[in-house]
Chain A
Amino acid sequence: MNARFVLTKLVRALVTLWLVVTFAFLILHASGDPIEILLGDQAEQDVIDRYRELYGLDRPLHEQYLRYFFGVARGDLGFSLSDQRPVTELLAEAIPATLVLGLTALGVSMLVGIPLGIVAALNRNKPIDRFVMTFAVLGFSIPNFFLGILLILFFSLWLRWLPTSGMGTWEHLIMPALTLGTAAAGSLARFTRSSMLDVLNKLYMRTALAKGVPRARRIRWHALPNAAIPLVTVLGFRLGDLIAGSIVTETVFAWPGVGRALVSAVSARDLAVVQGVLLITACTMVTANLLVDLAYGWIDPRIRAARASPPGG
C-alpha cells in the first residue's frame, strides 16, 4: 500500500468533513433565530440582546463561522438547550451505547447472514435455497419497529424472559441486537448468495474443477476469498450506517444511544444536538469508507497492483 494513496484518501475524508461542518453551520443559520426558539416570541428585546451576546450571535457571520469551526475542531459542539449541558458531554455518554448495540447487531448479522448466503448459493434453486431466501426477504422486509414490538410482546410480556427496555445487563442487549441484526442478516444473506453465484460461474472455478481440486478446497480457497471482496463494501456501508440505522430500534427499546438522543433533540428542536449528531455520523461514515478503501487494497492483490502503477503508465 503506498503512502500517496492513503494520503489522498485522508485529504478527501477531511474535505468531506469540512463540507459537512460548513453545511451544518449554514443550514442552522438559514433556519431562523435560535434565541427566538429558546425564549419564544414574547421575550423582551433586552433579554434577547443579552442572550445574543452570550452565544456570540451578535457577531458578523464570518466571525461566527470561524468561532463555530474552531470550536468543532477542538471538540466543542455547542450547548444543548433542552438538556442544559454541553453537546460533547451528552454525545460522549450516548456513543458507547450505540456502538455496543450496533457492533453486536453487526456481529450477529454476519454470523447468521454470511453462512446462510453461502449455503443458499451452493444449493442454488434447491428447496434449502428457497427456504433461506424466503427468510432473508422476510427478515429485511419486516420494519424494525414492528419486529421490535413483536419481540417485546413475545419475550417480555408473554414469556417474561427479557426486560422490555433500557440498558444495563446483557439481557437488555438481546432484543435490540436481534431487531437490528435481523434486517442486516437478511440483506447480507442475499448479497453473499449473489456474490458467491457470480464467483461460482467464473472460469477459474471451472479450471479448479478440471484440475481435480476437491469440492471443499474449491469453495474454501477459490470461491470464498473472491466472493468476500464485494462483501467488504456492504459491511463498510453497515458500519457507516451504525448511527442512522439504529434510530428507530433505540427508540423502541429506550436504548440510551445516539439515535434516541437525536429523536428527542428533533422533537425539542435542540439544534446543537442535531448538528452534533450529523457531524459524528459524517465522521463514522467517512471513517467507514476509508476503512473499506484500505481493506480493499489489503484483501485484493489486483487493486494493490493497479494502485502501485500510476494510471495510464
Chain B
Amino acid sequence: MPNELQQASASGAPPLPGTARVFFRKYPPLVLAAGSFVVLVLLISALADLLAPYHYTTQDLANRLRPPAFLGGLAQYPLGTDELGRDILSRLLYATRFSVIVAILGTSIGAVVGTLLGFVAAHFRGWVDETLMMLVDAQASLPFMLLALAVLAFFGNNLTLFILVLGINGWENYARLSRGMVLSASRQGYAVAVHALGASPARIYGRHILPNILSVLIVQFTLNFPQTILLETSMSFLGLGIQPPLTSLGQMLGAGRKHLLLAWWIAVLPGLVIFLTTLSISIFGDWLRDRLDPTLRNR
C-alpha cells in the first residue's frame, strides 16, 4: 500500500487538500513559525530606530519602574519602564538590534576565519594541516566561556575585543568542515578539470570549490548563530560583555535582575526574546540541515 494512503487511513481523518498537505509536509508549521520569528527579529534589528518610540537612553525619572500597559501601566510605555524611567519597549528593540548585530559580526568572523584556515589546511597538508587540526581539537575540547572570560580578564574589556572573542567561538567547526570538503572536492572532476586548464589555486578554491560547499557552511552558520547569541547574552548578563550605556538583551536582563521583586518584566521580557530567538534559529537550522543532508533525517 502506498505510504500516503496508509497514513490517511490510519489517522481516520479526511486528508487535507492536496496542495496544502504537500506544502505543510515540505514546510512543517513549527518551522514556518520559527522562520517567521527569525524574520521578525531581523526586521526589528534593521528598523529599531524607526520602530522605537524613544531613544534607548531617554530617561523619565518621574515614571520609574512602571508596569507594562496590560498590567495597569501607562499607555505611553506599553511594556513599562526600568529603574531610570527608560521605556522597556524601546530598549528591547535596540537591545535586540545590538545583540543581533554583535552575533552576526561574531559568527561571520568565525565563519570566514575558520573556512579560510580549513582551505589552508587542505591546500598545504603536512605539518600545516596537522598544527591547524590540533588547534581545532584543542578549541573543541575547551569550554569556550572560560577561554573568553580569561581573554577579557587578561586584556581588559572593550567592544572590539569582545566581538573578536565571540568570533573565535565556533571557528573550529568551519575549519573542520571546509577542510574535509575541500579534500574531497579537489579530487572531483570539476576541480581537476579547472586545475588542468591552468586556473590558480585561489581561483579554484574561490570560484569553483567554495560555491559547491557553500550550502553546508551556511547551515553551520545557522547552527552557530544561536550559540553566539547565547554566549554574548551570557557574558553581558555577567556584566562582562556589552557595557552600559550600550545595551544588549543579556545586559538588560542582568541589570533587571536587581529589580525582580518590584519589576519582574525588566528581566523577563529580554529573557523571553533571547529564548525565542535562539530556539527559532535552532529549529530553522535543524530543518535546513535535514533538508540538505538526507543521511541525518529521522534522527
Q: Which residues of A contact B (CB under 8 A)?
A: 27-28, 30-31, 137-138, 141-143, 145-146, 149-150, 152-153, 157, 194, 197, 240-241, 243-245, 247-248, 251-252, 262-263, 265-267, 269-271, 274, 277-278, 281, 285, 289
A27 B154 Cβ-Cβ under 8 A: yes
Q: Does B61 contact A (CB under 8 A)?
A: no
Interface of B is mostly: helix
Q: How many A-B residue pairs have CB under 8 A?
A: 101
B238 A251 Cβ-Cβ under 8 A: yes
With contact pairs A149-B260, A269-B153, A274-B149 given, residues A143 and B238 touching in the complex (Cβ less than 8 Å): no
A277 B257 Cβ-Cβ under 8 A: no
With contact pairs A153-B264, A267-B240 given, residues A138 and B279 touching in the complex (Cβ less than 8 Å): yes
B143 A267 Cβ-Cβ under 8 A: no
Select from chain B the residue with minimum beta-carbon distance to A138.
B279
A247 B271 Cβ-Cβ under 8 A: no
Residues of B in contact (CB 8 Å), total 37
Q: Which residues of B contact A (CB under 8 A)?
A: 141-143, 145-146, 149-150, 152-156, 230, 233-234, 237-240, 250, 253-254, 257, 260-261, 264, 267-268, 271-272, 274-275, 278-279, 282-283, 299
A271 B153 Cβ-Cβ under 8 A: yes
B268 A149 Cβ-Cβ under 8 A: yes
Select from chain A the residue with minimum beta-carbon distance to B272.
A146
A266 B275 Cβ-Cβ under 8 A: no
* CB neighbours of A146 from chain B (8 A): 253, 271-272, 274-275
Interface of A is mostly: helix
The distance from the CB of B14 to the nearest CB of chain A, in whole angstroms, is 21
B234 A31 Cβ-Cβ under 8 A: no
The distance from the CB of A90 to the nearest CB of chain B, in whole angstroms, is 15
With contact pairs A143-B271, A143-B274, A153-B264 given, residues A31 and B143 touching in the complex (Cβ less than 8 Å): no
B143 A271 Cβ-Cβ under 8 A: no
Partner of A149, one of B152, B153, B267, B283: B267
* CB neighbours of B238 from chain A (8 A): 247-248, 251, 263
The distance from the CB of A35 to the nearest CB of chain B, in whole angstroms, is 15
* CB neighbours of A278 from chain B (8 A): 146, 150
* CB neighbours of A269 from chain B (8 A): 153, 156
